[in-house]
Amino acid sequence: MTQTARRRSQGSNRGGRPATLTPERVVAAAVEILDEEGLEALTMRRLGAHLGVAAMSLYRHVPNRDALLAEVVTHLFTEAVIELGPAEPWDEALTRFAGAYRETLLAHPHAVPLLATHPVDTDRGLALLAGLLGRFAASGVGEQDALTVVQSVAVYVLGHALAQVGTPSGTAPAQATTDPAATAFYDRWFEAGLAAMVSGFERRLAGDDRPTR
């Protein structure tokens, strides 16, 4: 039995009828399709078939495909949220968040173009990042400055992941490279760029944004 078939089997009860749909099941199934078949394949009709239900029944949980994609984006972004220590400095917390976000993106390569073009809902994103933003506040960094730093790093992570995945939505299947040399190259590139961004913001927030020699 294939992995997909096994999931479908587990999604039905013993009488052979589909298990009760929930918003969580709908979004999880959407992520499965996205991972296995790509963004273009993620339609309401395809999702209904994957869940063994009529597409119309999905509209009780998500009003349309755009709303579904927004839920998928939030679901995946949530995977990158990290546990923070009570006294963890913002630079360390930010670096760990960036690494976790990159891991999430590379684990779902088809989702990289989606997150690059469908930002996380502002209110939900702020709620998910409350712990990270709190580390800035604990260091006396203002909210707007903290948001600028976090958003800048998040965009860097997305752009770097898109470069590594290398294919936009709707073209050849996206996948993170498995060549060890290429992976090591991208890792070094990512870490060097991230370190430069974080140290640059540290200097800027400290009031010393003069270029280094």
List pLDDT tens digits, range 77-124: 999 999 988 889 999 999 999 999 999 999 999 999 999 999 999 999
Average of per-residue pLDDT values in the chain? 87
Q: Is 21 helix (H, G, I), strand (E, B) or coil?
A: coil
**Domains plus CATH for the chain?**
85-206 (1.10.357.10)
Q: Are 133 and 150 in contact (CB under 8 A)?
A: yes
Q: pTM score, two decimals?
A: 0.83
> Where does residue 94 rank: exposed (0-12), middle (13-18), buried (19+ CB within 10 A)?
buried
Q: Is 196 helix (H, G, I), strand (E, B) or coil?
A: helix
User: If pLDDT is split at 50, 70 and 90, which confidence band does 16 have?
Assistant: low
User: If pLDDT is split at 50, 70 and 90, which confidence band does 207 have?
Assistant: confident
